[in-house]
């Protein structure tokens, strides 16, 4: 059975030739694994990548030893996607996570309250998105796990404190630290360029919109036009509903719901897939045998008549209800 790997797989695979460290290679292998369709034809490819990852991780542990590189914080992805929040001291990352989720991280007015990355789930309509709160990044200090988290995340929020003495300079220094690790931040609608190994779609969120701030002209000049400045207040809640919408859009996913033939449409069996996914991609997730047996599907959704018949190549739209027929 052919693997039928997507074209993007080979683009990412080529980056292995220029990877300088085991950590970068491991991150590339993880990205490749996330892109591989899960069916019998790709089992050997998946096994090969997992074996190479295991060897690299083992080599990295032997080389570094238990105490040289400090703690490693790997956070397993959960929900519909993973967004890492980074920023300078006192930008309000923990306050933002608290305002967007049901988590209760420690929040204070002094810097470095957060000592380690911490995940929390943000409810958005009928899905959950994983947000990662992180310790601050400064011009002189950044943990190794910062770059690891950013490289493997589905998207990034850079949280900016406009009340700081030099917010533009602080932002430039933060981005520079991660660019040294070959990480490029791009806008939600921007096409990735060349020259960087890891390209991450990013939201530039300006916190503390309820407080007076100076030096905003220099900050806007640095952010725009590549990014849009998104004003919020984690303290008052201003702008947070709009931010949730933008986080969902940043993930570039669609929600699909399965319906058993002859039964009422329910939203209990829900799936999240990348935009551009087809009925066949969802069938593969529902059951591995469906990829061979699927004949057609019926769709309920926006702009369609109820129970519209479609083939396996139909491109899913957000909130489609799908009835698979084998």
The DSSP secondary-structure symbol of 229 reads E
What is the third-level CATH fold of 254-325?
Ubiquitin-like (UB roll) (3.10.20)
Q: Which CATH number fits domain 82-251: 3.40.50.10330, 3.40.50.300, 3.40.50.150, 3.30.750.24?
A: 3.40.50.300
Q: What are phi and psi of 120, to 5 degrees?
A: -150, 155
Position 61 scores a pLDDT of 62
Under 8 Å between Cβ of 248 and 81: no
Rounded distance between C-alpha atoms, residue 34 and residue 46, angstroms: 10
Q: Which residues of the chain have a pLDDT value below 50?
A: 65-71, 110, 195
What is the pLDDT, as a whole number, of residue 279? Answer: 92
Distances (CA, A) of 239 to 5, 96, 193, 233: 40, 11, 30, 7
In the chain, domain spans: 7-64, 82-251, 254-325
pLDDT tens for residues 223-259? 988 899 999 999 999 999 999 999 999 999 999 988 8
Rounded Cα–Cα distance for residues 224 and 321 (Å)? 39
Report the distance separating Cα 143 and Cα 141, nearest Å.
7
Alpha-helix runs per DSSP H in 131-189? 144-152, 167-179
Q: Are 258 and 324 in contact (CB under 8 A)?
A: yes
49: left (phi over 0), alpha (psi -120 to 50) or beta: alpha
pLDDT, tens digit, 9 for 90 and up, residues 170-196: 999 999 999 888 899 999 887 655 545
pTM here is: 0.74
Measured torsion, CA atoms of residues 78, 83, 89, 92, in degrees rounded to the nearest 10: -90
CB atoms within 10 A of CB 158: 24
């Amino acid at each position: 059975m052919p693997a039928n790997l997507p074209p993007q797989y080979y683009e990412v695979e080529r980056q292995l030739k220029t990877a300088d460290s085991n950590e970068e290679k491991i991150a590339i292998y993880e990205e490749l694994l996330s892109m591989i369709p899960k069916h019998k034809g790709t089992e050997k490819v998946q096994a090969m990548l997992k074996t190479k990852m295991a060897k690299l991780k083992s080599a990295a542990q032997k080389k570094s030893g238990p105490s040289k590189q400090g703690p490693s914080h790997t956070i397993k992805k959960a929900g519909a996607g993973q967004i890492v929040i980074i920023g300078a001291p006192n930008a309000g990352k923990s306050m933002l996570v608290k305002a967007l989720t049901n988590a209760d991280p420690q929040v204070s007015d002094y810097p470095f309250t957060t000592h380690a990355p911490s995940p929390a789930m943000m409810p958005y309509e009928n899905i959950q998105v994983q947000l990662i709160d992180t310790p601050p990044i400064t011009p002189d200090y950044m943990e190794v796990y910062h770059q690891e988290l950013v490289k493997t995340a589905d998207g990034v929020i850079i949280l900016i404190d406009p009340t700081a003495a030099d917010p533009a300079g602080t932002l430039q220094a933060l981005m520079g630290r991660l660019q040294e690790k070959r990480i490029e931040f791009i806008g939600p609608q921007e096409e990735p360029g060349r020259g960087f190994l890891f390209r991450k779609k990013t939201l530039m969120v300006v916190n503390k919109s309820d407080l007076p701030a100076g030096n905003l002209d220099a900050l806007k000049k640095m952010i725009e036009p590549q990014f849009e400045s998104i004003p919020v207040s984690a303290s008052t809640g201003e702008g947070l509903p709009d931010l949730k919408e933008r986080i969902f859009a940043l993930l570039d996913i669609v929600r699909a719901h399965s319906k058993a033939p002859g039964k009422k449409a329910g939203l209990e069996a829900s799936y999240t897939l990348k935009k551009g996914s087809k009925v066949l991609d969802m069938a593969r997730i529902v059951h591995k045998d469906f990829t061979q047996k699927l004949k057609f599907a019926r769709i309920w959704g926006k702009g369609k008549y109820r129970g519209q018949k479609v083939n396996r190549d139909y491109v899913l739209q957000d909130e489609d209800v799908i009835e698979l027929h084998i």
